[in-house]
Chains A and B, each alone.
Chain A
Amino acid sequence: MNTGYVTIDGIPIAMEGEKNLLELIRKAGIDLPTFCYYSELSVYGACRMCMVETKEGAMVAACSTQPKEGMEILTNTPRLRRHRKMILELLLAKHCRDCTICEKNGRCRLQELANRFGITRLRFPGDTEARPDASSRCITLDTGKCILCGDCVRMCSEVQNLGILTFRNRGSRMTLGTRDGKPLAKSGCVGCGQCAAVCPTGAIVVKNDRERVWEAIGDPDTKVIAQIAPAVRVAVAEELRCAPTDNILGKLVASMHRLGFDEVFDTCTGADLTVLEESAELIARLEENRDLPLFTSCCPAWVSYLKQKHPELVSHLSSCRSPMEMFAAVIREQYKSSRKNIVHVAVMPCTAKKEEAALERLKIGGIQQVDYVITTQELIRMIRECGILFSEIEPEGLDMPFGAATGAGTIFGTAGGVTEAVLRRLSSDKSPAALRELAFRGVRGAAGLKETEVSCMGRTLRIAAVSGLKNAEDLLTRIQEGEHYDFVEVMACPGGCAGGAGQPFAAGDSRRQRSKELYAADRMSSIKRSEENSLVLSLYGGLLKGKARKLLHTEHNGEESK
């Protein structure tokens, strides 16, 4: 580990194993501008915004320079300011400047830095034409807004093991595109949206379905029913300017009522159903000793990935619908005799859910169960659009008849949560001590792959929870090489749904903070096991009687057809 001191703008800063100067400089409280640096991706060094000067007058890129004892670094000299402004000017010359009508308006890194550096004039001509590829249901790609920082390219290949986004051509003719030049919808994209999450500009943005939701809300003959995913509540505080300790879910419910949603339910209820169904499925497979490990099917990006890359393993997928789809089917069943049209909107941290909602195999009687999926960010926009002062609004409770959820459902929002919830279900010891013990079995935490062993039905089960499709691929390789697991949870996004691409962007500590808040909500819940959710149990005797298979499960035959 690097130790010692580096002098940054005259102030000695202690090294604590920082891999590069940039991290050290940011630790010193200087927000050195960058476009292409993410601590979770490889260092690329292309944007050249983080150039700093050494005492000797040499210019180095902070992101790709190792700190060394005794270095003296200047981060803010007239030369550096001039060069940074010139780089911004070069980027802006080729970039669409319709900021006010851009989906990324207000959250764009290029816009922010142009503002910070006071760029008021461009001296270079440039092609600023928009070239949107809107073929995907999840994301829109507009190369006219791309600054070629490569963040999405590295995300797609390094973290998600897909390698669909890539650079095409060289030099000044270089553009972003798909690997084989096909439109996104046909490129094998699983819709995880992580490229959009790291894109500093509006080149890759999440598709927006707000207008159609507003339309449904505005129609007096339509009953608009919403479900809100567990990860949403832990990601809105900052953007809606309220303290994260407040009763955010209650405030969200109140705001959504204000927006005009007729009923608001919690997807955690759907998650409880998933726990019960998936546990039963696992037990059945263990008894028959077939198709182990059981892969979870909550994450649509993962399901799509597996079908595309490993069709031979599809039989391992759980036949369960995702919590969103299960819950949607139950809600539709509940309201099937309503005189009004039912429009069901799901508020999700996820972009791939937009695709999932439209899947043919999830329709029941030809009817799409979830009409519109909006992301956390879209909900935040809708709340802002209505001028609701989120910090002031009085929290309200969830609507009945589905107002009850458990802590087990809540932790679905973080990687390892599904596993823990299923373990709670499987565990024969129902004491609080056993519950606490489960929390320390290795399924919590930020690691991409978490493993544990539990005894169940007289045997020891090997269980893994993995997030990030590259991590999943590594695990699949091990499984195909003969390693045995009984249950594998996969979430495509690093950190699980809390780090989903529909959320306001968070990396590192702030993503871990979201997990912590979900576990805190679980601690506060009075019911912690899905099988103790009396509401869900009552469904089996009522609405689900004889229909559980149809409403809660699906067939995984063939590719994900749209």
Chain B
Amino acid sequence: MIAATSRNTGNASRGLSGENPFYRLCLTLPLDSQALRNAGAAQGPDGPRLTENTGRILAVYEQFERFNREGCCGKCVPCREGTRHILELLERLAAGERRGEDGTLLLELADTIYSTALCSLGKTAASRIAGVFEGCPEEYLPGGGGIEEAPRVYRIDPELCRGCSRCARGCPTGAISGKIKEPFVIDPGKCVGCGACLATCAFKAVKEADV
């Protein structure tokens, strides 16, 4: 078993393997082409690629989008202008500098590019973005549950937290820090609202914060 947040099989035009990269934090697929195909993933010309368990899955997408920006010819508007903004939005998301409607904007933009781009380069660039969110529980969506709702933010109740560090070890984005036996804190800038801490805390110290 390979512990990895995600695995790309070598073709930047395809999304990450597995139907939900956030949800499937650990992939257990063996690295052979038949198994990859069964899982709905394609093997690209570079061979399979592993991504370290950095928890920065958005960074991987950023990398794909950068590849796309270099490949874009510049002819049609949605791909030329749109992919540039997608990259900027992803960079902001990955850096934890999400602004109010970024999530909605990202999805709307990806939808337009996917539907209207002249060639498949732009289309796949956009379909990957949809893949970031596809099949995710709603709260994973940047921008919140569904498209309209506000994002979920979690905080740790210092009175209930015993400082066991279990949540910090399980946090996919490394947003939780603290000293053992002292209350831990969640950095809202890094938190993507996945709720992993909520599920792992044995003391019910993780609460949904009011926004």
- Pairwise interchain contact A173-B74, C-beta atoms closer than 8 A: yes
Q: Counting CB contacts under 8 A, is A87 at the interface?
A: yes
- Pairwise interchain contact A172-B78, C-beta atoms closer than 8 A: no
* Chain A residues whose CB sits within 8 angstroms of the CB of B116 once the complex forms: 48, 51, 59, 61, 83, 87
Q: Counting CB contacts under 8 A, is A27 at the interface?
A: no
Contact with A along B115-134 (1 / 0, CB 8 A): 11110000000000000000
In the complex, identify which listed stretch (A163-171, A232-240, A245-253, A439-447) lies at the interface while the others stay far away: A163-171
- Pairwise interchain contact A170-B77, C-beta atoms closer than 8 A: no
* Chain B residues whose CB sits within 8 angstroms of the CB of A83 once the complex forms: 78, 111-112, 115-116
Give the Cβ gap from B95 to chain A, nearest Cβ, in Å.
Answer: 15
Q: Counting CB contacts under 8 A, is B56 at the interface?
A: no
Q: How large is the interface on A (under 10, 10 to 19, 20 to 34, 35 or more residues)?
A: 20 to 34
Q: Counting CB contacts under 8 A, is B27 at the interface?
A: no
Give the secondary structure class of B's interface. helix
For A91, give the chain B residue with the smallest CB separation.
Answer: B77
- Pairwise interchain contact A91-B81, C-beta atoms closer than 8 A: yes
Tally of B interface residues using CB under 8 Å:
27
- Pairwise interchain contact A124-B85, C-beta atoms closer than 8 A: yes
Give the Cβ gap from A75 to chain B, nearest Cβ, in Å.
Answer: 14
The residues in B between 73 and 95 inclusive whose CB is less than 8 angstroms from any CB of A are 73-78, 80-85, 88
Tell me, in angstroms, the Cα distance from A540 to B209 when the chains sit together. 96
Q: Counting CB contacts under 8 A, is A148 at the interface?
A: yes
Give the Cβ gap from B60 to chain A, nearest Cβ, in Å.
Answer: 21
- Pairwise interchain contact A46-B77, C-beta atoms closer than 8 A: yes
- Pairwise interchain contact A174-B78, C-beta atoms closer than 8 A: no
Tell me, in angstroms, the Cα distance from A40 to B9 when the chains sit together. 47
Give the Cβ gap from A59 to chain B, nearest Cβ, in Å.
Answer: 5
Q: Counting CB contacts under 8 A, is A82 at the interface?
A: yes
Contact with B along A159-196 (1 / 0, CB 8 A): 00000000101111110000000000000000000000
In the complex, identify which listed stretch (B101-109, B143-151, B158-166) lies at the interface while the others stay far away: B101-109
Tell me, in angstroms, the Cα distance from A358 to B117 when the chains sit together. 46
Q: Counting CB contacts under 8 A, is B70 at the interface?
A: yes
* Chain B residues whose CB sits within 8 angstroms of the CB of A147 once the complex forms: 77
* Chain B residues whose CB sits within 8 angstroms of the CB of A47 once the complex forms: 76-77
- Pairwise interchain contact A86-B108, C-beta atoms closer than 8 A: yes
For A90, give the chain B residue with the smallest CB separation.
Answer: B81
Q: Counting CB contacts under 8 A, is B69 at the interface?
A: yes
- Pairwise interchain contact B112-A86, C-beta atoms closer than 8 A: yes
The residues in A between 48 and 100 inclusive whose CB is less than 8 angstroms from any CB of B are 48, 51, 59, 61, 79, 82-83, 86-87, 90-91, 93-94
Give the Cβ gap from A36 to chain B, nearest Cβ, in Å.
Answer: 9
* Chain A residues whose CB sits within 8 angstroms of the CB of B78 once the complex forms: 48, 83, 86-87, 90
Tell me, in angstroms, the Cα distance from A289 to B117 when the chains sit together. 60
Tell me, in angstroms, the Cα distance from A464 to B78 when the chains sit together. 45
A45-B118, A46-B118, A167-B74 known; A172 vs B112 contact (CB < 8 Å): no
* Chain B residues whose CB sits within 8 angstroms of the CB of A241 once the complex forms: none
- Pairwise interchain contact B76-A93, C-beta atoms closer than 8 A: no
- Pairwise interchain contact B74-A172, C-beta atoms closer than 8 A: yes
A45-B76, A123-B101 known; A172 vs B81 contact (CB < 8 Å): yes
- Pairwise interchain contact A148-B74, C-beta atoms closer than 8 A: yes
Q: Counting CB contacts under 8 A, is B72 at the interface?
A: yes
A171's contact among B69, B108, B109, B115, by CB below 8 Å, is which?
A: B69
- Pairwise interchain contact A171-B74, C-beta atoms closer than 8 A: yes
* Chain A residues whose CB sits within 8 angstroms of the CB of B82 once the complex forms: 86, 90
Tell me, in angstroms, the Cα distance from A93 to B80 when the chains sit together. 13
- Pairwise interchain contact A87-B112, C-beta atoms closer than 8 A: yes
A51-B115, A86-B108, A171-B69 known; A94 vs B74 contact (CB < 8 Å): no
* Chain A residues whose CB sits within 8 angstroms of the CB of B109 once the complex forms: 86
- Pairwise interchain contact B76-A94, C-beta atoms closer than 8 A: no
- Pairwise interchain contact A170-B108, C-beta atoms closer than 8 A: no
Tell me, in angstroms, the Cα distance from A539 to B109 when the chains sit together. 69
For A150, give the chain B residue with the smallest CB separation.
Answer: B75
A45-B118, A79-B115, A86-B108 known; A170 vs B81 contact (CB < 8 Å): no
Tell me, in angstroms, the Cα distance from A87 to B116 when the chains sit together. 9
* Chain A residues whose CB sits within 8 angstroms of the CB of B77 once the complex forms: 46-48, 87, 90-91, 147-148
Give the Cβ gap from A474 to chain B, nearest Cβ, in Å.
Answer: 28
For A59, give the chain B residue with the smallest CB separation.
Answer: B115
Contact with A along B53-79 (1 / 0, CB 8 A): 000000000000000011111111110
- Pairwise interchain contact B75-A46, C-beta atoms closer than 8 A: yes
* Chain B residues whose CB sits within 8 angstroms of the CB of A124 once the complex forms: 81, 85
Contact with B along A251-283 (1 / 0, CB 8 A): 000000000000000000000000000000000
In this complex, which of A47, A171, A173 has the most chain B Cβ atoms within 10 angstroms of its Cβ? A171
- Pairwise interchain contact B108-A82, C-beta atoms closer than 8 A: yes
Tell me, in angstroms, the Cα distance from A47 to B115 when the chains sit together. 13
- Pairwise interchain contact A48-B117, C-beta atoms closer than 8 A: yes
- Pairwise interchain contact B112-A148, C-beta atoms closer than 8 A: no
- Pairwise interchain contact B118-A170, C-beta atoms closer than 8 A: no
Tell me, in angstroms, the Cα distance from A59 to B85 when the chains sit together. 22
- Pairwise interchain contact A172-B72, C-beta atoms closer than 8 A: yes
Give the Cβ gap from B102 to chain A, nearest Cβ, in Å.
Answer: 9
The residues in A between 361 and 388 inclusive whose CB is less than 8 angstroms from any CB of B are none
In this complex, which of B71, B72, B115 has the most chain A Cβ atoms within 10 angstroms of its Cβ? B115
* Chain A residues whose CB sits within 8 angstroms of the CB of B112 once the complex forms: 82-83, 86-87
* Chain A residues whose CB sits within 8 angstroms of the CB of B88 once the complex forms: 125
Tell me, in angstroms, the Cα distance from A46 to B122 when the chains sit together. 13
Give the Cβ gap from B114 to chain A, nearest Cβ, in Å.
Answer: 9
Tell me, in angstroms, the Cα distance from A173 to B70 when the chains sit together. 10
* Chain B residues whose CB sits within 8 angstroms of the CB of A148 once the complex forms: 74, 77, 80
Tell me, in angstroms, the Cα distance from A46 to B78 when the chains sit together. 9
Tell me, in angstroms, the Cα distance from A61 to B85 when the chains sit together. 23
For B84, give the chain A residue with the smallest CB separation.
Answer: A172
* Chain A residues whose CB sits within 8 angstroms of the CB of B84 once the complex forms: 172
* Chain B residues whose CB sits within 8 angstroms of the CB of A170 once the complex forms: 72-74
For A168, give the chain B residue with the smallest CB separation.
Answer: B74
- Pairwise interchain contact B83-A46, C-beta atoms closer than 8 A: no
Tell me, in angstroms, the Cα distance from A427 to B78 when the chains sit together. 59
29 residue pairs from A and B, CB less than 8 Å apart: A45-B118, A47-B76, A48-B77, A48-B116, A48-B117, A51-B115, A51-B116, A59-B116, A61-B118, A82-B111, A83-B111, A83-B112, A86-B78, A86-B82, A87-B116, A90-B78, A90-B85, A93-B81, A93-B85, A123-B101, A124-B85, A150-B75, A170-B73, A171-B69, A171-B70, A171-B73, A172-B72, A172-B80, A173-B74
User: B interface vs A, CB < 8 Å?
Assistant: 69-78, 80-85, 88, 101, 105, 108-109, 111-112, 115-118
Enumerate the 8 nearest inter-chain pairs by beta-carbon distance, A residue then B residue, closest first.
Answer: A174-B74, A171-B72, A90-B81, A86-B112, A172-B84, A48-B116, A83-B112, A171-B74
| 16 extra interface residue pairs, beta carbon distance < 8 Å, beyond A45-B76, A48-B116, A90-B85 | A44-B75, A46-B118, A51-B115, A59-B116, A61-B116, A83-B111, A87-B78, A90-B77, A123-B101, A124-B81, A167-B74, A170-B72, A170-B73, A172-B83, A172-B84, A174-B80
